[in-house]
């Protein structure tokens, strides 16, 4: 689309005239991404679903899921070494495929990241209200404000304060998770079980993998902030791979230790009949200390997970504006903080429009599951376009690298297969929402194209 090609805000040297400051390093981006996984909330949902399906074999299912995600992560790793500008997936498609694909990818990323962030907020609300329910009743909207206000504050302050908070709080959560592993194994007297004693059918394993790949998703929030990362071509890809491996393996070990504890204490079958087995096991392991740990994990995960994806949403919006695809005003930076504050405000308004009305009428756990499932479909499409971007780059003979070519092709096959299977097994309303959003993107793209054409004709 010629109008979009001419709409970039880059100068003659191809450098953006409205750049963000590179102010965060590897540790900052790693812990922001690790927090973006919301490890504890992931354990309550994705890992618990895998546990209920594959029981003893579930830790292995989580490892397999991590390896599947690692393939897409490898594609991102190679792309991040080629492009270090703000925008991530939008930027990859914009520069490697076409400007129209870039818009559609950026549009879908907005959909995916906003729903993932909203899912973490509502998941946090559910856990918060659930664990305090024996003592006090907290209205969902009050719990929402407990999580949303600090998240919004950090988002508007900028990536530097946000990353410092992430380093501190995600480090604490990492310590807590390691402590849960040690405490569970101690409670099991360090007697370990063989997860291969009961291997489920291939269909059950595959369904479990579909849930498992939702765990190490935090890396999806890294690439949109590349323009604010020091030595981004090295640090962004490195952080993405490490977050996938460490996050996925850590969740596998936590699940293994909890199953091991259940078996050692002869309570495993009983735990499977409870509403939330992980919370029940934690109360058994640490007793009265479980409540403060659960409150910390619920609030912290809600802030970290939503902050990572809200930040990614705003930077994706900023990049689309900076390229001239959407209104230039959105990419304006705050003079004092250097933060795209207008993009941040749009992000928060969009979140309020989606979450507040639904929390008034629908159970927060149901919203959590729905938003996570719908966002998962968007996530698969976004990573499909990323793999196609890497594939297209390596079709050029002068730039062809066999390893990158193979990774991109494998990523396309796996992501495509999972996406098609997910469409066949998802609820109709989820499919319609995702496809409707894609169609809306094409309509908006045509409107922008017509507007630019009319504007050009008027000037002439």
Locate 229 and state its tokens: 């990362």
The verdict on residue 446 lying in a domain is yes
Q: Can you tell me the mean pLDDT for 165-182? A: 90
Rounded to 5 degrees, φ, ψ at 24 are -120, 150
Is the pLDDT assigned to residue 45 strictly greater than 80? no
The pLDDT of residue 280: 81
Query: How many other C-beta atoms lie within 10 A of the C-beta of residue 182?
Result: 12
Whether pTM > 0.85 for this model: the answer is yes
CATH of the domain at 167: 1.20.1740.10
The verdict on residue 349 lying in a domain is yes
The pLDDT of residue 3: 38
**Domain assignment of residue 52, given as a range:** 2-10+20-459
What confidence tens digit (pLDDT) does each residue in 186-201 have? 988 898 999 998 888 8
The verdict on residue 209 lying in a domain is yes
What confidence tens digit (pLDDT) does each residue in 283-330 have? 888 788 888 888 888 899 999 999 999 999 999 999 999 988 888 899
- d(CA 47, CA 110) in angstroms, rounded, equals 26
Do residues 178 and 40 make contact, with C-beta atoms less than 8 angstroms apart? no
The pLDDT of residue 10: 46
- d(CA 309, CA 208) in angstroms, rounded, equals 25
What confidence tens digit (pLDDT) does each residue in 381-421 have? 898 888 888 888 887 755 667 888 889 999 999 888 888 88
User: Cα-atom radius of gyration of the chain, to the nearest Å?
Assistant: 22
Least confident window among 107-121, 182-196, 261-275: 261-275
Query: How many other C-beta atoms lie within 10 A of the C-beta of residue 346?
Result: 18
The verdict on residue 228 lying in a domain is yes
The verdict on residue 249 lying in a domain is yes
The verdict on residue 15 lying in a domain is no
Q: How many domains does the chain contain in total?
A: 1
The verdict on residue 185 lying in a domain is yes
The verdict on residue 263 lying in a domain is yes
């Amino acid at each position: 689309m010629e109008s979009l090609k001419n709409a970039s805000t880059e100068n003659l040297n191809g450098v953006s005239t409205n750049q963000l400051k590179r102010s965060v390093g590897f540790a900052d981006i790693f812990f922001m991404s690790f927090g973006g996984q919301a490890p504890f909330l992931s354990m309550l949902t994705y890992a618990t679903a895998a546990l209920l399906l594959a029981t003893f074999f579930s830790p292995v299912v989580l490892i397999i899921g991590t390896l599947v995600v690692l393939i897409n992560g490898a594609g991102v790793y190679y792309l991040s070494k080629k492009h270090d500008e703000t925008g991530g997936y939008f930027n990859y498609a914009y520069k490697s495929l076409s400007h129209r694909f870039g818009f559609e990818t950026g549009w879908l990323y907005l959909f995916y990241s906003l729903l993932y962030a909203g899912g973490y907020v509502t998941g946090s609300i559910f856990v918060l209200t659930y664990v305090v329910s024996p003592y006090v009743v907290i209205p969902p909207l009050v719990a929402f404000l407990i999580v949303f206000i600090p998240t919004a504050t950090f988002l508007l302050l900028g990536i530097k304060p946000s990353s410092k908070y992430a380093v501190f709080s995600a480090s604490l959560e990492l310590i807590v998770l390691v402590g849960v592993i040690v405490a569970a194994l101690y409670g099991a007297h360090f007697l370990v079980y063989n997860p291969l004693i009961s291997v489920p059918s291939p269909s059950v394993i595959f369904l479990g993998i579909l849930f498992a790949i939702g765990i190490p998703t935090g890396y999806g929030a890294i690439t949109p902030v590349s323009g604010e990362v020091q030595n981004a071509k090295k640090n962004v890809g490195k952080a993405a791979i490490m977050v996938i491996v460490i996050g996925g393996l850590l969740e596998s070990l936590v699940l293994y230790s909890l199953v091991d504890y259940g078996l050692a204490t002869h309570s495993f079958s009983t735990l499977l009949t409870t509403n939330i087995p992980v919370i029940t096991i934690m109360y058994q392991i640490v007793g009265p200390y479980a409540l403060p740990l659960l409150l910390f994990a619920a609030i912290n995960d809600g802030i970290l997970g939503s902050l990572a994806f809200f930040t990614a949403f705003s930077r994706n919006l900023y990049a689309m504006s900076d390229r001239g695809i959407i209104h230039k005003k959105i990419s304006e930076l705050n003079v004092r903080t250097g933060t795209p504050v207008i993009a941040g405000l749009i992000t928060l308004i969009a979140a309020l429009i989606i979450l507040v009305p639904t929390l008034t009428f629908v159970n927060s756990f149901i919203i959590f599951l729905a938003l996570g499932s719908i966002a998962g479909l968007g996530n698969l499409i976004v990573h499909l376009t990323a793999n196609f971007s890497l594939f297209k780059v390596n079709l050029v003979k002068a730039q062809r690298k066999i390893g990158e070519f193979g990774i991109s092709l494998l990523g396309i096959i796996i992501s495509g297969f999972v996406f098609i299977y997910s469409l066949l097994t998802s609820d109709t309303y989820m499919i319609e929402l995702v496809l409707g959003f894609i169609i809306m993107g094409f309509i908006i793209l045509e409107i922008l194209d017509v507007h630019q054409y009319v504007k050009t004709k008027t000037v002439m």
